[in-house]
């Protein structure tokens, strides 16, 4: 029977255990982001943007719809900025990076991006009131992203989640 090497302990750098700190950062977010009170508050605020959709009138000109779409999109992006900035450090940085990769803008899709991707002004206005329904799946690669960060990055947050 072959002799197996004993399991290798997680890397430790000057009292720093990478695996433990990564897990503590993940655990600090709770079971799922969707049920987090901050996320619930954000979703309520997004729903309040429905006033833009209520302003759509059948006889509106394209210029009027474009202006309303711009207002709705800017309001949604501003709300996103406010709540992203309230998000704990590593998750906030992951979200900004993820959103930038997805839309080419760290705050999310711009009106121009949405138009180039086939959305009408009315679509933009109506979508401003809908948060992503499956944010947990969308942000499910947070742990993988953390594992790719240098030790120095994780060490910055070690004190905020305790020692491993």
Reported confidence tier of residue 3, pLDDT bands at 50, 70, 90: very low
| pLDDT given at position 133 | 87
Q: How far apart are CA 45 and CA 39, in angstroms?
A: 10
Query: What is the distance between the alpha carbons of residues 80 and 131, in angstroms, rounded to a whole number?
Result: 10
- pLDDT of 2 higher than 60: no
Residue 83 has pLDDT above 90, yes or no: yes
Q: Residue 106 gets which letter from DSSP?
A: T
**Percentage, residues of the chain above pLDDT 70:** 85
* Structure-token pair, residue 48: 């309040």
Question: How many CB atoms sit inside 10 A of residue 159's CB?
Answer: 9
Q: What is the pLDDT of residue 18?
A: 83
Contact by Cβ (8 Å): 95, 139: yes
* Residue 4 binned pLDDT confidence (cut-offs 50, 70, 90): very low
Q: What is the pLDDT of residue 15?
A: 61
Give the pLDDT confidence score for residue 14 in this predicted structure.
Answer: 54
Q: How confident is the model at residue 73 (pLDDT cuts 50, 70, 90)?
A: very high
pLDDT digits (tens, 9 = 90+) for 108-161: 999 999 999 999 999 999 999 999 888 888 888 888 998 899 988 888 887 766
State the pLDDT at residue 26: 82
Residue 136 and residue 33 in contact, taking contact as beta carbons nearer than 8 Å: yes
CA proximity to 76, closest of 37, 118, 108: 108
Least Cα distance to 104 among 120, 92, 118, 117 occurs for 117
């Amino acid at each position: 029977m072959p002799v197996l090497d004993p399991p290798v302990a997680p890397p430790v750098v000057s009292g720093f255990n990478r695996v433990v700190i990564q897990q503590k950062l993940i655990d600090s977010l709770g079971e799922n982001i969707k049920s987090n009170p901050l996320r619930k508050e954000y979703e309520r605020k997004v729903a309040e943007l429905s006033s833009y959709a209520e302003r759509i009138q059948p006889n509106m000109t394209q210029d009027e719809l474009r202006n309303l779409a711009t207002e709705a999109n800017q309001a949604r992006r501003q709300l996103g900025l406010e709540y992203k900035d309230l998000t704990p450090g590593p998750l906030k940085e992951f979200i900004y990076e993820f959103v930038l990769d997805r839309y080419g803008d760290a705050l999310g899709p711009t009106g121009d991006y949405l138009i180039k991707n086939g959305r009408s002004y009315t679509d933009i206005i109506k979508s401003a009131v809908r948060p992503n329904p499956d944010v947990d799946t969308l942000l499910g690669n947070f742990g993988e992203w953390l594992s790719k960060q240098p030790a120095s990055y994780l060490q910055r947050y070690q004190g905020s989640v305790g020692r491993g």
